[in-house]
Amino acid sequence: MLHAVDFLPLALRLADVARSVILPYYRSGLAIDDKADASPVTLADRGAEQDMRAILNASLPEHGIIGEEFGNERDTAEWVWVLDPIDGTKSFIVGRPTFCTLIGLLHHGKPVLGIIDQPVLGERWAGVSGQATTLNGVPVHTADTRDLAKARLGSTGPQYFSGAIGERFNALAASCRFTVWGGDAYLYALLAQGGYDLVVESGLKLHDFAALVPVVQGAGGLMTDWQGKPLTQTSAGQVLVAANSSLHAAASAVLSA
């Protein structure tokens, strides 16, 4: 029987390939296109995903692939790879090194392997179900903060919270020590190594979070939707991430009040 860890060498190879495509474009003044939803995309995004897909289709043709740029292939397969070549394309475009390549693997719809790769800084977090998360091969762990009033909260941007959702987020932010905006997937990597204590998001898609779950959980954190349910292939876009279960329970109580 195959296990998620059996695919770790291939996942690391994919990250190497994506890095080799992306780095030459960084701060190069490359052209920017707009997708149908008006979000930006570049040759780096497309090239990195194309090369990762080519490797997967050649190595594991029975596996599925879900990618941000080129859609789904065999997405009902037992094993499905989820690719986001550049999470944080706007940061990449302006030359801010907080964008990441995300490589996730689902088994029967559940995230079991994840890579968060920051090419410019040479930082790579790897998470596999049942194993400790590592940063460049060294194990990392989340913070031990358990008091909500001392928690350092992170989120991508206030534009993702409006109406009742915004009210609940603001209540949580008011309960925390401080909030830092911006960072996309890099927020989760920093939480995994003890920087942030909480990350709360809304409006995420599968390619935004699939790789993050094993990284966070392998470092001692807890990552669910706002209702405390595990994140899977069919989850909606609200995500609650905490350094530990005690802090998760405290944050969840505020978000569900």
Give the residue extent of every domain in the chain.
Answer: 4-139, 148-255
pLDDT value, residue 127:
99
**Mean pLDDT of all residues in the chain?**
94
CA distance 118 to 142: 19
Whole-model pTM?
0.94
Contact (Cβ atoms closer than 8 angstroms) between residue 215 and residue 126? yes
What's the CATH number of domain 148-255, 3.40.190.80, 3.30.1340.30, 3.90.79.10, 3.40.50.720? 3.40.190.80
In angstroms and rounded to an integer, the radius of gyration of the C-alpha atoms of the chain is 17
Per-residue pLDDT reduced to its tens digit, 132-156: 999 999 999 999 999 999 999 999 8
CA distance 97 to 99: 6
SS3 assignment, position 43: helix
Contact (Cβ atoms closer than 8 angstroms) between residue 66 and residue 80? yes
pLDDT value, residue 236:
82
Per 3-state DSSP, the chain is made up of helix, strand and coil in percentages (nearest 5) of 35, 25, 35
pLDDT value, residue 237:
87
Q: What is the mean pLDDT of residues 101-122?
A: 98
CB-based contacts of 3, cutoff 8 Å, min separation 6: none
- Topology of the domain covering 4-139: Fructose-1,6-Bisphosphatase; Chain A, domain 1 (3.30.540)
- At residue 36, does pLDDT exceed 80? no
